Structure 1
Amino acid sequence: MKEKLKEHIDNVISLTDDEFSLVLTHFTLEKHKKNDFIIKEGEAVTECYFVVAGLLKLVHDDQNGKQHIVSFAMEDWWESDFSAYFSQTKAKMSLQCIENTVVYAISLKNHQKLSRESPKMQRFFLEKANSGHIASQNRILSFLTSNAKERYEQLLKQYPLLIQRVPKTLLASYLGVSRETLSRLSS
């Protein structure tokens, strides 16, 4: 498990074995079953998660009870309700397992401590934050400028493995279309 985290970090920065051993002390390994909630809307968000194995969905339930999927996270992705995590407020979204999932969790305190102790990790976290911000902006632009078919094709092109693992109902929610519309788009 720790090899996956090391390889992921090494794709951005290079760490010695000793440096990685220090990094690892700031994380905890967690295992969750399918349908478990790692974060529940309205609760404190204490950790950010690196997905070692499995699949997650970040969702927001509106006042009418409709579920909006903000993002998915599979292996080698990071996820949390980042607004609540960094501001130490209550979650506005829930993070739920779509599959049995293994994650490395890091508290904000350990995130900040690790960033202070290791300029390399500070750079790593900055790179990951920038990548996440760019992906988020691209998703927003996609909703503003693309129709449902174009959004589906973008998702297919960008994340072909994700499409194979996510149930069609969840994909439809993520794309902002009905299940029936998604069936027409994917046929």
Structure 2
Amino acid sequence: MQPEAEVYLKSVKAFCPGITDDELALFASKFSFKVLNKKELFLESGKVQKHLGFVVKGLLRSSFVDPEGNEITVGFYSEGDYATHYPAFIARQPSKYSIQCLEPTTFICLSFDDLQWIYRQSPTFERYGRLIAEEILKRQQARIESFIFQTAEERYLDFIKHRPTLFNRISLSHLCSFLGIERQTLTRIRQHLARK
């Protein structure tokens, strides 16, 4: 088995410790590998997402273009994350977001049909799917609430705390867009924190 597959199956087992080796082998029989270069799109806005992509290695950014033509960053996906606009993927609807590689990226992919087939094979797989969906929902909710309840500085500190390995892998413009702040505001926040 390829090392990438081992990484993925280990993450599945971490979510569902009771999963058997036979079930894991069945799971592995359905997934495929995909490698994209920096700047290539995993998902294009307006298209239906074909595959759920587990990031084995690399980094991606999810974004949309606002009515003024500005590209707004809404998320980052790195090792161990699923690159997806999940509600649109499940509903088989065109996504409003694009997901682009910021680094060369290796994925393990599962098509929608294969995912549904896997769910039908065992309650363990259904449980895994539910746990992943809950994790994605929690992240989305946390992002929404960060704009309601946190200051820009708190959002910045939260990002550093929860995604410390990403900080040196993304551009400041992408970070500012994700935090919903101007470049000058980020500079002021960092100067203020440096003085503390």
Query: Is the TM value for this pair above 0.5?
Result: yes
Structure 1 residue 106 corresponds to structure 2 residue 110: yes
1:167 Cα deviation after fit: 1.3
User: Secondary structure, in 3 states, of the residue corresponding to 1:31?
Assistant: strand
Structure 1 residue 83 corresponds to structure 2 residue 92: no
Q: Deviations over 1:83-119 (max 9, x none)?
A: 2211111121001001000011111111111111121
Distance 2:81 2:109 in 1: 12
**If the length of structure 1 is used for normalisation, what is the TM-score?**
0.95
1:72 to 73, 76, 79: 76
Give the letter for the 2:155 counterpart: R
Give the letter for the 2:35 counterpart: K
Distance 1:154 1:19 in 2: 37
Structure 1 residue 131 corresponds to structure 2 residue 135: yes
1:63 Cα deviation after fit: 2.0
For structure 2, list consecutive stretches of 5 or more residues without a partner in the other structure: 192-196
Give the letter for the 1:163 counterpart: F
Distance 1:77 1:152 in 2: 21
1:11: which partner in 2? 14
1:62 Cα deviation after fit: 1.3
User: Secondary structure, in 3 states, of the residue corresponding to 1:105?
Assistant: strand
User: Secondary structure, in 3 states, of the residue corresponding to 1:161?
Assistant: coil
Give the letter for the 1:2 counterpart: A
Give the letter for the 1:87 counterpart: A
1:170 to 171, 174, 188: 174
1:94: which partner in 2? 98
1:67 Cα deviation after fit: 1.1
Structure 1 residue 55 corresponds to structure 2 residue 59: yes
User: Secondary structure, in 3 states, of the residue corresponding to 2:15?
Assistant: coil
Give the letter for the 2:113 counterpart: K
1:164 Cα deviation after fit: 2.2
Distance 2:94 2:145 in 1: 27
1:41 Cα deviation after fit: 0.6
Q: CA RMSD in A?
A: 1.2
**How many pairs were matched up?**
187
Q: Deviations over 1:129-158 (max 9, x none)?
A: 111111111111110111110100111111
Distance 2:16 2:58 in 1: 24
Structure 1 residue 181 corresponds to structure 2 residue 185: yes
**If the length of structure 2 is used for normalisation, what is the TM-score?**
0.91
For structure 1, list consecutive stretches of 5 or more residues without a partner in the other structure: none
Distance 2:138 2:175 in 1: 21
Deviates more, 1:103-112 or 1:92-101: 103-112
1:42: which partner in 2? 46
1:18 Cα deviation after fit: 2.4
